[in-house]
Structure 1
Amino acid sequence: MFIISCSDDDAPLPENEEEEIAEVVLTFTPVSGGTPLSFTWADPDGEGPQNPTMETISLAPNTEYLMAIELMGPNDEDITEEIAEEDDEHMFFFGWTEGLFSSPSGSGNIAARSGMVNYEDADANNQPVGLRTRWTTGDAAAGTFRVVLKHQPGAKSATSTVEVGESDVDITWAIAIQ
């Protein structure tokens, strides 16, 4: 048993609050040109009684895309900017049905950190962030695409996994390559 005594003079412990995310938008922009495609997950009432809504991701086969992630909090608070400012504390992990993408190959880095993801951004310590990534679709297929945002203050490293830190986002989309 541990007993900790505190007086009114003791400074409060710092809080490490998770970001409250009300909307996540994945925007896939074809590298060779064309119209960007955006897919939204939204949970406007947070822990309220309504279920989140989401769109199925639909991408063209054999096409290279740059994907950007935008996160909004309640009252249109821009969480993307906060993640970018605290990039040394945040990392997106990705998992997908194998065969959906020719690059990166495999099924992502959720099951194993060594899994391939084409990150297009990094923090000051040269660790990936994931607000921008690159994807090349394979042939026609369907499956799932999972996005996990981890808050890893003081723990983000070249070996930190999806098990480290608190999850700010953990969403699984249906995806179709058609």
Structure 2
Amino acid sequence: MKVLRITIPVLLLFTVLFTSCSDDDVPEAENEEEVINQITLTFTPSEGTEVVTATYYDPDGEGTEKPTQDDIVLKANTEYTLTMSLKNTVGDENEDITEEIKEESDAHMFFFGFTEGLFSDPQGTGNIGAGNRDDKDINYEDKDVNSLPLGLTTTWTTAEAKSGNFRIILKHQPNLKSESTTTEDGQSDVDLNWKIEIK
């Protein structure tokens, strides 16, 4: 009888193991988070002044190499259109993540935070933080398939000379993104602080 008590659970264990390892039971990966190690911000003025670019670059992603990051320097009292380019260049990769974000626009949204007084439009400090979602706080120029803001393109009008911080968060919100989701919802694909100077 002792042999039966040992043998039956062992047989059941092997049955469960072989059954649970079936290829049919492996869930498909959906909306995986992007690997992003290079982000370029391009500020294009509405009038004929110089285009400003600022790049964050981390050579090995989450490895040991130190990333580099340009400061943002803009002219006072000037309207700019900000466009962003995001890439994965870790190792042998050369992947344009910008296009992936456009294709999965209903699962992504950029949020912005900044030192008060840097901009005359938008004013305030941005839309980062719980309960701080107001699309009027940021001048979004692009929308997703559900007419919700995306944020790859935005407009900014600088105020008088001032220095401070400019923060960008890209949230990955598959099956979550709505008119009320905030930076507290989903996972962060990007969360960067930039030094910014208005001259």
Q: With structure 1 as the length reference, what TM-score do the two structures score?
A: 0.93
Distance (whole Å) between structure 1 residues aligned to residue 158 and residue 75 of structure 2: 7
- Taking only aligned residues, the RMSD between alpha carbons, in angstroms, comes to 1.4
Q: Which residue of 2 aligns with 1:145?
A: 166
Higher helix share: 2
2:133 maps to amino acid:
R
Q: Which moved more, 1:110-119 or 1:88-97?
A: 110-119
Q: Which moved more, 1:40-49 or 1:106-115?
A: 106-115
Shift of 1:8: 1.3
1:84 maps to amino acid:
K
1:49 aligns with 2:67: no
Distance (whole Å) between structure 1 residues aligned to residue 108 and residue 25 of structure 2: 26
Distance (whole Å) between structure 1 residues aligned to residue 191 and residue 126 of structure 2: 14
Choose the corresponding residue for 1:8, options 10, 22, 38: 22
Give the paired residue count.
174
4+ long deviations beyond 6 Å:
none
Name the SS for the 1:144 alignment partner.
Answer: strand
1:117 maps to amino acid:
I
For structure 1, the residue ranges without an aligned partner over 5 or more in a row are none
Q: Which residue of 2 aligns with 1:104?
A: 122
For the structure 1 residues 157 and 48, does the alpha-carbon distance in structure 2 shift closer, same or farther, using more than 3 Å as the test? same
Larger Rg: 2
1:176 aligns with 2:197: yes
Distance (whole Å) between structure 1 residues aligned to residue 63 and residue 117 of structure 2: 36
For structure 2, the residue ranges without an aligned partner over 5 or more in a row are 1-18
Shift of 1:105: 0.5
Instruction: Provide the identity percentage.
Output: 52
Shift of 1:7: 4.6
Choose the corresponding residue for 2:109, options 85, 88, 91: 91
